[in-house]
Structure 1
Amino acid sequence: MEGAPLARLTLRKDYLAANAGKRAPTPGFVLLVRARGDDDATMRIGITVSKKVGNAVVRNRMKRRFRELARAILPAEGVPGADHVLIGRNSGIERDFAALKSDLSKALGKIKQ
């Protein structure tokens, strides 16, 4: 399970740039992937959950689940040298973690084609 290292997206411009990349909607989240085009193989991950999804407790729980999901799947299946953004959806709150894992794997497979 060793792949490219993971880093965090911190700047708003990076999130906006990822919005122009490939998009894979799933029941629990939307995955955006955009290749940066530099020679760095580091994968960057960004997570966003809007206030439409729920209160702060719900949003933070969802973000914790997404971070763990990214740690588990992205090093092996992610796109090296790309920015990955997970956007939380309402149906992702009660979704089983195993289902989220399979959703992320399928979404990455779709994007790699």
Structure 2
Amino acid sequence: MVDECRTPEGSPPPASLRVLTARPQFLALNAARRVPAPAFLLQARDRRDDDPAVGIGFTCSKKVGNAVARNRAKRRLREVARLVLPDAARPGWDYALIGRRDATASRPIDALTSDLRAALAKAHR
């Protein structure tokens, strides 16, 4: 028997995610809403186009640390986004998660998850 993935009646299906890589996409997000969280900064914008995909980008500057520290912080941000965004993101929006020095790498994953949920709720107000 095949187990089917079903959504509750009336709720939209989980959003499909795509990774932002181009500089113009990040520059557009830079002029959008900013929501600070304890371990990261969330930037969010409504693209106002017909594409229902959700764009997500990750960045950590050299202030976060050396390459190992930056990559670790980005891995943690990617994992939190993978857990939260399919259900909490709005279709047609782009998001960027910007890591913070020491906080992104040291904050527990469950705290990062709740931080992202709260930041998304604040960005969508």
User: Is the TM value for this pair above 0.5?
Assistant: yes
Partner Cα separation in structure 2 for residue 96 and residue 4 of structure 1: 25
Find the residue that maps to 1:13 and give its secondary structure: helix
**How far off is 1:3 after superposition?**
1.1
Match of residue 52 from structure 1: 63
**For the residues of structure 1 that align with 2:14 and 2:92, how far apart are their CA atoms?**
11
Other-structure match for 1:22: 33
What amino acid is the match of 2:112? L
Selected match of 2:21 from 10, 23, 27: 10
Instruction: Please state if 1:110 is matched with 2:122.
Output: yes
- Counterpart residue type for residue 108 of structure 1: L
Q: CA deviation digits over 1:63-92, x for unaligned, max 9? A: 111111111100100121011000000121
| Structure-2 separation of matches of 1:92 and 1:7 | 22
Aligned to 1:97: 109
Could you tell me how far 1:62 is from its partner in structure 2? 0.8
Matched with 1:33 is 44
- Which runs of at least 4 in structure 1 moved beyond 2 Å after TM superposition? none
Distance 1:79 1:111 in 2: 11
Alpha-carbon distance, 1:4 to partner = 1.3
Q: Which residue of 1 aligns with 2:84?
A: 73
Q: Which has the higher contact order (CA 8 A, sep 6+)?
A: 1
Q: Which residue does 2:3 correspond to in 1?
A: none
Letter paired with 2:105 = I
Q: Distance in 1 between matches of 2:23 and 2:119?
A: 23
**Contact 2:49–2:92 (Cα < 8 Å) also in 1:** yes
Name the larger-Rg structure.
Answer: 2
1:25 partner letter: P
